[in-house]
Amino acid sequence: MTTTPTVLDITQHDNTAARTGDKLKRRVAFVTGGTRGIGAAICRSLASQGAVLAAGYAGNDDAAGKFRDRFASTYGTEVSIHKGNVGDANDCRRTIEEVIATHGRLDILVNNAGITSDRSFVKMDHAAWRKVLAINLDGVFNCTKVFIDQMLQQGWGRVVNITSVIGQIGNFGQANYAASKAGVAAMTKSLAKELAAKGITINAVAPGFIETEMTAPVINEPKVQNWILRNTLLPRHGQPDDFDGALLLLASDAGRYITGQRLLVDGGWTAH
């Protein structure tokens, strides 16, 4: 979690808060990169179904604190925030200790934290390669490694990895990002095979081009926007809450017979 988070306005798309349910029955969920963008939308979705939230963040204490306060007041549910770098195994071990000390258990892990460092392969140096792999791929390994023991003790767990369509189709200037997301997809299948008999499902959600405060300046640039919309069957950018249904399916008992899958939520981009 090395990028500085900004707080997503969690009161937007407020129809979610109005229909709070109990599909997750006070399950405890930890979302990496959970205080902004897609991560904040994931927290919103989980809270709407009764989950207790622990949100990871990288470095902006003030923004994370505001997120916690506004989230708790909006949803009336417990939420804790945990500062750390998912690329650092020691930080991840400390985080599990904090989450368990605060909430007593961990049921759902959403590996969402991710970064980009785009440039053509000819211009890409080793530092740019390792920077992205350390967060996007090593981070998933580190967090899953430390949290899985708790799920094994319970005999129940849900791991949802946020990948990307870029991990499937590639993209100019994103060899590092594409490799990291493809690696997560392959890891998802391997872990599903190892852990299915233990009551733990491992799945991935692969969003397409989702408009957040971080991506909007790029995907709304006219040439990029035209390229995206020409190749998307549903003629608009995705919004963070467009994959609420996919996330909640995979995180709840409703998805108990689904594991080792990568669910594409891309507006039909990969249907071409």
Over the stretch 88-107, which tens digit does the pLDDT of each residue have?
999 999 999 999 999 999 99
Give the DSSP letter of residue 210.
B
Give the global pTM. Answer: 0.90
Beta strands in 1-156 (DSSP E): 28-31, 52-57, 79-83, 108-111
Number of domains in the chain: 1
Work out the average pLDDT over 131-158: 96
Beta strands in the chain (DSSP E): 28-31, 52-57, 79-83, 108-111, 157-162, 200-207, 262-265
The pLDDT value given to residue 184: 98
pLDDT tens profile 149-206: 999 999 999 999 999 999 999 999 999 999 999 999 999 999 999 999 999 999 999 9
Q: Please identify every residue annotated as catalytic.
A: 177
8 within some domain: no
Residue 12 has pLDDT above 50, yes or no: no
10 within some domain: no
Between CA 258 and CA 211 the distance in angstroms is: 28
Contact criterion met (CB below 8 Å) for 210 and 36: no
The pLDDT value given to residue 243: 84
Contact criterion met (CB below 8 Å) for 208 and 265: yes
Confidence at 214, pLDDT banded by 50, 70, 90: confident
Give the DSSP letter of residue 123.
G
Domain that holds residue 42: 15-271
Residues 6+ apart with CB under 8 A from 57: 1, 5, 33, 34, 35, 36, 63, 64, 67, 81, 82, 83
Work out the average pLDDT over 43-54: 93
Residue 11 has pLDDT above 70, yes or no: no
The pLDDT value given to residue 213: 77
43 within some domain: yes
Mean pLDDT across the chain: 89
The pLDDT value given to residue 5: 33
Residue 13 has pLDDT above 80, yes or no: no
6 within some domain: no
137 within some domain: yes
4 within some domain: no
The pLDDT value given to residue 16: 40
Contact criterion met (CB below 8 Å) for 80 and 99: yes
The pLDDT value given to residue 120: 97
The pLDDT value given to residue 235: 87
The pLDDT value given to residue 220: 84
Q: Is the dihedral of CA 170, 176, 181, 184 positive or negative?
A: positive
First to last CA, the chain: 33
The pLDDT value given to residue 272: 72
46 within some domain: yes
Phi, psi of 177 (to 5 degrees): -65, -45
The pLDDT value given to residue 216: 80
204 within some domain: yes
pLDDT tens profile 238-267: 998 898 899 999 999 999 999 999 999 999
Work out the average pLDDT over 12-37: 73
| CATH number of 186's domain | 3.40.50.720
Which region among 31-35, 114-118, 219-223 has the lowest average model confidence (pLDDT)? 219-223
Bridge partners of 204?
A: 161, 262
Tokens of 258: 């689904």
